[in-house]
Amino acid sequence: MNFAGGGRALNSRALARSYRHTAALHSPAMRASVTAGAALAGWQYGRGRGGGWWRHGNGGYGWVGPLFWPFAYYDIYDYTLWGPNVGAPFWYYGYDDIYAGLFGPYDYQGLTGYLPPRGSPDAGPDRLALLCGEDSREIAGLPIDLIAQTIEPTEVQRAALDDLANASVTSAQKIKAACPTSIALTASGRLASMQQRIEAMIAGVATVQAPLDKLYSLLNDEQKARLNAVAEEQERKAERRRSRSLVRACDVAQSTGLSWPTEELDARLRPTDVQRTGLTALQNASAKAREMLNASCRPEEAGTPSARLASAGKRLDVMLQAVKQVRTALDDFYVTLSDEQKAQFEAIGPRRTSFADRADMTRRYGRR
């Protein structure tokens, strides 16, 4: 796997244009395209049919270098306002991302391409921060102007809407603050970063929930109907645009092809009896995490923006619990490993990426 060009790829003109045209990032398809380009930066053959093994069902990626969940608040707001079709990307996040945290797809060389250049006064913006998103009112906040045009608020409702606008920006700031400033080179470090990101998202949801509930409670039936009509129109557009792989986010997320690498772990680590006990506990914790996340994937049950935001918060709570569970088992196991065994464990994900890279190259160009 060669990520030597990762830094250059992340500064490419195409990606830079996407970042500048922030209105385009309100499109889930555009965000998936941007994250795919960034996640595979420097992977010469990574744009083939297979893509990266940690790819989501909609073509996006939950991990881009050291960053978990790029453009997080966009996914939360899309689901909250427009429903499960437009907001499907939120529900693609789940067990596979924990798996990719355990067996990270990047080696050290690949990860360094995502950090800001050092020692240069004209290095430009932090490339990773761009993927975390801007937190200004014009970019990060809920589409307050559209909501106002739709509901035509009274004076009391306008005050509640202003409170919601301020809360949405504060929420985005909390989420962006959890953007990593360094790279994690171990599975434990990646899960710690993942946990921090989810905790920030939970705090962001909590910040918005009360103002949103208050505004929605102040709306009359006609205003609610107008707001629902806008959401239904957004969903109709999403139906026309989405591919077959987007039909049911939860179904796709649950039909994961990522299996526990039992044989490779045995071959690489040659675990002792004590280590095997810890490894079994880690595998069981991982399986339990998958069950928990599959059981909590119900995006279509919530029918109002307030209910959908609460549903998103509950999903994040389960995800946090799952990550903590796996992280605890991992730390208990990891402490029993020698330095050589740790190095072998960390090589599993990059090796899978390298293998997928070579396989994709063979498919496209044939054996030589």
Q: Output the average pLDDT for the chain.
A: 82
Provide the 3-class DSSP secondary structure of residue 367. Answer: coil
* CA–CA separation, 128 and 120 (whole Å): 17
Residue 18 tokens read as: 């996407």
Which tops the pLDDT comparison, 334 or 129?
Answer: 334
Strand partners, 67: 64
Q: Is the pLDDT of residue 313 over 80?
A: yes
pLDDT at 86: 85
Per the domain annotation, does 203 fall within a domain? yes
pLDDT at 246: 40
Per the domain annotation, does 225 fall within a domain? yes
Q: Is the pLDDT of residue 316 over 90?
A: yes
Q: What is the pTM of this model?
A: 0.87
Per the domain annotation, does 98 fall within a domain? yes
Residue 218 tokens read as: 């102040």
Q: Is the pLDDT of residue 191 over 80?
A: yes
Asked if 364 contacts 50 with a C-beta cutoff of 8 angstroms, the reply is: no
Which tops the pLDDT comparison, 50 or 63?
Answer: 63
Band (134; pLDDT cuts 50, 70, 90): low
Which tops the pLDDT comparison, 148 or 2?
Answer: 148
Per the domain annotation, does 271 fall within a domain? yes
H-type helices in the chain, by residue range? 6-10, 13-20, 28-39, 72-82, 88-91, 95-102, 108-112, 127-132, 137-140, 144-151, 155-177, 187-218, 221-241, 249-254, 262-269, 273-295, 305-334, 339-346, 348-365
Q: Is the pLDDT of residue 122 over 50?
A: no
Q: List Cα–Cα distances, 84 to 160, 175, 308, 322, in angstroms.
A: 25, 22, 9, 23
Band (124; pLDDT cuts 50, 70, 90): very low
Per the domain annotation, does 238 fall within a domain? yes
Q: Is the pLDDT of residue 243 over 50?
A: no
* CA–CA separation, 21 and 196 (whole Å): 28
Per the domain annotation, does 277 fall within a domain? yes
Number of domains observed in the structure of the chain = 1
Per the domain annotation, does 327 fall within a domain? yes
Q: Is the pLDDT of residue 236 over 90?
A: no
Per the domain annotation, does 1 fall within a domain? no
Asked if 175 contacts 201 with a C-beta cutoff of 8 angstroms, the reply is: yes
Domain carrying residue 273: 6-365
Asked if 98 contacts 194 with a C-beta cutoff of 8 angstroms, the reply is: yes
Q: Is the pLDDT of residue 23 over 70?
A: no
* CA–CA separation, 50 and 29 (whole Å): 18
Mean pLDDT over residues 67-71, rounded?
Answer: 93
